[in-house]
Amino acid sequence: MSTGTAIVVAVTFVWLGMVLAISFVEAPLKFRAPSVTLQIGLGIGRLVFRALNTVEVAFALVILAIVAAGPTPARIAAAFYVAVAALAIQLIAVRPRLTRRSDQVLAGLDAPRSRGHYAYVGLEVVKVVALLIVGILLLTV
């Protein structure tokens, strides 16, 4: 395994672990903690997901640089691009709507429930599957 491949494997599995831990463990559990109001949970969530998405973009750029620098099997590149596309859709289309709604809730307005969370979670599932495929395929190269 080349150094570039080893880096991509490591970054892929760290990225996967972060998404699983934050999106599927931390996010739902924080609202079950005693004394955590909707406003506090939203405030924490905004900070945590902003940080997660920043790290995800950095990881995607690292992987993209390595994939672009050398020969990468098409199936690995395709799975990676699916993960990047899911992240891009989250950042460009879904998060701004979720942020507008959370701004309203944090301002004390009675904002209607958002279906944007379902889109975000669906894209998280797509990203998790794509990253898992990338990691597994890289380990078999």
pLDDT at 118: 92
* Higher per-residue pLDDT: 29 or 10: 10
Tallying the residues shown for the chain, one arrives at 141
134 and 76 Cβ atoms separated by less than 8 Å: yes
**What is the domain count for the chain?**
1
Mean pLDDT of 12-28: 95
What does pTM read for this prediction?
0.91
Q: Per-residue confidence at 65, pLDDT binned at 50, 70, 90?
A: very high
Mean pLDDT of the chain: 92
Domain range for 65 is: 3-139
Q: Per-residue confidence at 111, pLDDT binned at 50, 70, 90?
A: confident
